[in-house]
Amino acid sequence: MAIFKGAGVAICTPFKKDGSVDYERFTEQIEYQIAGGTDSIIVCGTTGESACLTHEEHTEVIKHCVDVVNKRVPVIAGAGSNCTDEAVFRSKEAERCGADALLVVTPYYNKATQKSLIEHYRIVAESSALPIIMYNVPSRTGLNIAPETAAYLFENVDTIVAIKEASGNISQIAKLMSLTDGRIDLYSGNDDQITPIMSLGGLGVISVLSNIAPGQTHDICASFLEGDVQKSRELQLKAIPLCNALFCEVNPMPVKKALELQGRDTGVLRRPLCEIEPEHTELLKKEMKAYGVL
């Protein structure tokens, strides 16, 4: 059984002006997502600035999310690290907090081989009973999960059940689905490729766009799952200009600005991230108005 189908939001972590986590605003964000039709909440991922959270904050943010959601939708906790022992620690903490599943990014910076990738994921999987979504995002990690590696892990590690694919390489994704006979649960990691990836057997998306347009992102997925491919395609194409604007600078800098423009400010960014350029703010305004979310 899939962890979720549809649009899961890679939710931002709100911070106060002093840099501490703003749990009141975080609660508001979670409730806004659930009311908007989001099918799952992915906490402490890239968009949640997990790389700049302390160990204590990482655990507290997951626990807060789990408590507020209260089983209304699945909560998937980011648990990846470039250090296997660290990923094990985060996975255990996420399970203790009550998360429904783990999102485990490939180890960044270390330049792991495919063989060492297999060992990394095997060890992390053995540390927790929770189902795992592998996260392939070579543009950020410098490491690609080869289709053969992903297929091997899916076939040989019981709790590795899914992959978030953000490589942008449709041919690679098609090969993975062929190698697994379409049995691996596939989620798009790119908002501009939701419908194309669902056409290969994907179940939905783990989305940045959902932060500011939960209902619209849900509808792209729901239309496809209901068999209305044409509607899904139309909704996907309509979203492309805004998807591009949300990545005019590195994520989550633009989406946090977009939330501010909507009056749902998630506060400061943690360094080394900073405010986007003024011309990119104007681009966001333009595309958000055109899309109907401003």
For residue 210, which of 185, 188, 179 has the smallest C-alpha distance? 188
* φ, ψ of residue 132 in degrees (nearest 5): -120, 135
Dist. CA 25–CA 15, nearest whole Å? 8
Helix (H, G, I), strand (E, B) or coil at 11: coil
- Please confirm, yes or no, whether 135 is among the known catalytic residues: yes
The answer to whether 189 touches 161, Cβ cutoff 8 Å, is no
For residue 208, which of 266, 143, 277, 150 has the smallest C-alpha distance? 266
Give me the catalytic one of 63, 164, 256, 257: 164
Give me the catalytic one of 135, 152, 187, 291: 135
Helix (H, G, I), strand (E, B) or coil at 198: helix
- Please confirm, yes or no, whether 256 is among the known catalytic residues: no
Cβ neighbors of 237 (< 8 A, separation 6 or more) are: none
* φ, ψ of residue 18 in degrees (nearest 5): -80, 0
* Catalytic sites, residue numbers: 135, 164
